[in-house]
Amino acid sequence: MKLHFRRTGREEPEINLIPFIDVLLVILIFLMLSTTYSKFTEMQLRLPVADTDAQRDYPKEVIVAVGSDGAFSVNRNVLEDRSVEAVAAALQQGAKGGKDTVVIISADANARHQSVVTVMEAARRAGLTQITFATQSSAHANGR
C-alpha cells in the first residue's frame, strides 16, 4: 500500500476579514457611546446680523427690550418684576391694536435665551401671535 502525500497545487493563504471588521465595528460603537460632547457647549457664539432693504414700520407694535442682565422693558417702561405674568400684563396694556399688535423683541446679543423665551411665552399668554425680532445691519455691526 502506497500513500501519496504530495501536494497537487500550491494554495494561496486566505485572510478572513470578517472578524477584523466585527472588531472595528465594536470599537467604533464603543467610542461613539463614550464620547462626550461638552466641548460644543463651551463655544463662543456671535449672533448673526441681517441685511434688510428698508426698516418696516408697524403702526400697532409693542417693542420689548431684553437686557443682557435679563431685565425687560415694554415700550420703554422698565419692568420691576421679571415673571412671565408681569411681562404678559405689560404686553396686554401696551397692545393698542388688540390681537393684531406686532411684538418686536429687541434682545441684547448677550441676553440669555431663557429671557427671550419668557417674552415669547408672555406674548402667547397675552394672545399676541405676531412676533418679530429686531436685528442690526451688517454695516452697523462691522463699525463697532
The CATH number given to whatever domain includes residue 107 is 3.30.420.270
Asked if residue 31 has pLDDT above 50, the reply is: yes
How many domains, in total, are found in the chain? 1
Q: What percent of the chain has pLDDT over 90?
A: 21
Other CB atoms within a 10 A radius of the CB of residue 129 amount to 12
Other CB atoms within a 10 A radius of the CB of residue 126 amount to 21
Question: What is the overall mean pLDDT for the chain?
Answer: 78
Asked if residue 5 has pLDDT above 90, the reply is: no
pLDDT given at position 85? 93
Strands (E), the chain: 61-66, 72-74, 77-78, 102-107, 130-133
pTM of the model: 0.56
Q: Is residue 67 part of a domain?
A: yes
Confidence of residue 45 (pLDDT cuts 50, 70, 90): very low
Q: Is residue 128 part of a domain?
A: yes
pLDDT given at position 8? 65
Q: Is residue 124 part of a domain?
A: yes
- Residue 122 structural domain: 61-137
Nearest to 91 by CA among 57, 63, 130: 63
Asked if residue 106 has pLDDT above 80, the reply is: yes
Q: Is residue 50 part of a domain?
A: no
pLDDT given at position 118? 92
Q: Is residue 18 part of a domain?
A: no
- Mean pLDDT confidence for 93-113: 84
Q: Is residue 116 part of a domain?
A: yes
Q: Is residue 39 part of a domain?
A: no
Asked if residue 103 has pLDDT above 50, the reply is: yes
Confidence of residue 110 (pLDDT cuts 50, 70, 90): confident
Calculate the alpha carbon distances from 103 to 7, 69, 84, 119, 129 in Å: 89, 21, 15, 9, 8
Q: Is residue 82 part of a domain?
A: yes
